[in-house]
Amino acid sequence: MTETRAKMYGNHIGGDWVEAASGETFEDRNPANGELIATYARSGKEDVDRAVKAARGAFERWRLFPAPKRGEILYKVAQLMAERKEDFARAMSREMGKVLAEARGDVQEGIDMAFFAAGEGRRMLGDTVPAEMPDKFAMSLRMPIGVVGLITPWNFPVAIPSWKSFPALVAGNTVVLKPAEDAPDCARLFTELLLDAGLPEGVYNTVFGYGEEAGTALVEHSDVAGISFTGSTAVGIAIAREAHKTHKKVATEMGGKNAIILLDDADVDLAVEGSVWSAFGTAGQRCTAASRMIVHSAVLDEFTEKFVRAAEALTLGDPLDGSVDVGPLVNETQLKRVSGYMDVAEGEGAKLLCGGERATGGDLDKGYFFRPTIWGGVRHGMRVAQEEIFGPAIAIIPVSSYEEAVKVNNGTPYGLSSAIFTQNVNTAFKAMRDLYTGITYINAGTIGAEIQLPFGGTKATGGHREVGQQALDSFTEWKSVYVDYSGKLQKAQIDEI
């Protein structure tokens, strides 16, 4: 392969673009064909320390900047992102493999979040409540926590930084972003956009590099007041433990093992369409991707036949090609991980219905493509029904009742997203009550959250919430304020003598 000289990009710290202190770099490559996109600064402890100092230096001024004015900058961010939507989308497809239509949706989430967070600059609600004494006023308000470290994944390289950055900024915090090493180009474009919108120097800083180096340094830094992380459960738990040592506020959004329930009265064709989108969108590399189909025995054969046929009809290829349905996995490590579960499934006795192998032939040989995979005859306790695979692979689990379906759905360590297809309104409302996940869809797949409601899950998924007004909780502390205008000392809860 002949490669042209790639551009090199440094960190953004305190208003300047600078190389890593070590001078080291890492490569950003296209997972569809291996082409080199650019090289980026490989940051370490010294770089993170410099970024945190810049953020700390900017905090006092930024927290005193009126919140409505902070919101106005985010309105500008939204407008600029809308203008640059196609540039962001194409960069995303090129560096992490999401097909172009999905990449545009990813950017649109960022636009929506910017508008939503901007509005909080004129709202950011607290409470005013009656005081128990005469001539006394009582209220609560939010305070920014200081410097926040954001550690973001590669699978939503615009949406998730938006979910974290915009609430943090509008609340008056300053930021150090450590994006995933598989999606630095989107993070660079994101940072440039914020600067173009008018953020003051030092308010937003970006350090590129690896999690075990730059990410660890950010978590351990004593001047970082909060960490917001999206990624695997194992890493999230390690971050929470380490951050606790320095009393950081921590928010983690971690793994999922999401299921779609298909009852005997469901619209099977609609369920097939929703399941294909949920299982194979972004090549299954979404925390909300469906990796389990819990199907009533009465419709099992019909659904399975149609589902397999639809999966086999999907087109794999260059994600920048508008005719392609599924792009590549993000890197070789992910390809090996997904491939490894094929042996696991076979060893457990699952029946391979389609896929199950790396996709090859023509240009597919150049990238990390994996064929959409469906297993039948899966039992609830199998590893492929319990562990997050994070690839285009889904297991069909037969059940005989609504009650059994709910038990299977809830019977994993995770609790992010769930879905149920039924035409019985009573059953639908029971499912809203019974499915123990942070998100539940009725007659739709497990993906497609909107930014005006909280996003997050239960159990090992993390328990914290992003987007919606609840996103502010990760980046603020509550302060209760009492104003006594009686002119005399009034002692709360003390009986007068």
The answer to whether 362 and 341 have CB atoms below 8 angstroms apart is: no
Task: Copy the structure tokens of residue 459.
Answer: 């159990």
Are 233 and 255 contacting, i.e. CB atoms less than 8 angstroms apart? Answer: yes
Catalytic-labelled residue, pool 102, 181, 213, 253 = 253
Residue of 421, 459, 124 lying closest to 268 (CA atoms)? 421
Report which of 193, 211, 214, 186 is spatially closest to residue 92, judged by C-alpha positions.
Answer: 186
Q: How far apart are CA 425 and CA 445, in angstroms?
A: 17
Burial 195-224 (b: 16+ CB within 10 A, else e): eebebebbbbbbbbbebebbbbbbbbbeeb
- Active-site entry in 109, 287, 388, 466: 287
Torsion, Cα 252 255 259 260, to 10 degrees, reads 60
- Concatenating the DSSP letter of every residue in 395-457 gives EEEEESSHHHHHHHHH-SSEESEEEEE-S-HHHHHHHHHH--SSEEEESS-S----TTS-B--
Strands laid side by side in the 36-41 sheet: 7-9, 36-41, 25-29
d(CA 50, CA 58): 13
Annotation says 253 is catalytic? yes
Q: Which residues are identified as catalytic? A: 253, 287
